[in-house]
Amino acid sequence: MTGLAAAASAVSLALTGHGGGPAKPLEWGRGPLTVDALPRVTYVAHRGGAREVPENSMSGLMAAYRRGTAQVLDFDTRLLRDGTPVVLHDATLNRTTYLGGEVSALDAREWRGVRLRPRASLPGSWRSERPPTVAEVLDRLGGRIVLMLEAKDPRGLDRLAALIRARGLTRSVLVNTNDPEVARRIHRLGLPTQLWRSARQLRTDRPERWRAHVDVLDVDIKARDVDLMRAVRSGIPRVWAHTVVSPGQRDRALALGCNGIITDAPGRLARHPVRPIGTVSRALGR
């Protein structure tokens, strides 16, 4: 929590908009950032911090970067009809844009006409904007902060790998999937590999089987204590909990041994110091 505490004491989080800020998060030093340089406990802004900014938007990602309350920015990727990787979570446009229909039905020219619809419940005032392409996010933020992209369509893995390699970011971008076989493909492409698993999947998973090719195991905060502890003891070096929205959930994940927090509310967590959960800590012999 040292980095988060420093950031929280040094700046007042501007949750009312997405204006200026420091050139890079206050807790980071100079130079390109890589997965290997991440702190012992890592904070990830899920979809940019979807309870604080418009999810998967360039303005949201930039706001999360400037606020400095996370060391990793997460976003989702889809493929257009012409193979262009773009940033959006859903397979359809309906939920987060003013249009409808399948993302995969559009080409790059048609994508330029898509506009995001910021949720009314977000703090502050946000303008509608075009969702970015993956190349645009890599060009704007690559190397300045560690990025995590989820490959929603595994057919685009080779294209994603080419974009990452062309920019010299092979140690700066985590590629995430829910499929263990896709995780193997990502590893064979020479990219840092992240595998996420649901609470249901974790009940029967044997995560030690993946330690040779998974860099980050991304576990559901709703999973049972015993399943989270098995993941922590799997030998996979980084076990990060998703999707955390409250200080209590964060404290439970850390007490169980997770060393990363994937959150929709990085600003909120930064304002609330960690409080050890006594019962969990005692159960772990701490």
CATH assignment at residue 79: 3.20.20.190
pTM of the model: 0.87
Residue 140 near residue 58, CB atoms below 8 Å: yes
**How much is the average pLDDT of 127-154?**
97
What is the number of structural domains in the chain? 1
Give the model's pLDDT for residue 276: 80
In the block, tokens 């409080």 appear at 275
Environment class of residue 189 by beta-carbon count within 10 Å: exposed (0-12), middle (13-18) or buried (19+)?
Answer: middle
Kindly tell me if the per-residue pLDDT of 21 is higher than 50.
Answer: no
Kindly tell me if the per-residue pLDDT of 47 is higher than 90.
Answer: yes
Give the model's pLDDT for residue 278: 65
Contacts of 264 (CB under 8 A, 6+ apart): 46, 47, 49, 50, 51, 52, 243, 244, 245
Give residue 63's domain range: 2-283
Kindly tell me if the per-residue pLDDT of 22 is higher than 80.
Answer: no
- For the chain, give the percent of residues with pLDDT over 70: 86
CA 11 centroid distance within chain: 23
pLDDT band at residue 265 using 50, 70 and 90 as cut-offs: very high
Give the model's pLDDT for residue 30: 57
**How much is the average pLDDT of 19-32?**
43
Kindly tell me if the per-residue pLDDT of 11 is higher than 70.
Answer: no
Reported as a single tens digit per residue, the pLDDT across 81-96 is 999 999 999 999 999 9
* Average pLDDT over the chain, rounded to an integer: 89
Q: Sign of the CA dihedral 264, 207, 225, 69?
A: negative
Rounded (5°) CA angle 214-215-219? 80
Rounded (5°) CA angle 69-74-79? 160
Rounded (5°) CA angle 119-122-128? 50
Closest CA to 127 of 19, 12, 25: 19
Environment class of residue 199 by beta-carbon count within 10 Å: exposed (0-12), middle (13-18) or buried (19+)?
Answer: middle
Give the model's pLDDT for residue 274: 94
Kindly tell me if the per-residue pLDDT of 203 is higher than 60.
Answer: yes
Give the model's pLDDT for residue 32: 67
**How much is the average pLDDT of 11-30?**
36
**How much is the average pLDDT of 226-248?**
98
How many CB atoms lie under 10 A from the CB of residue 5? 13
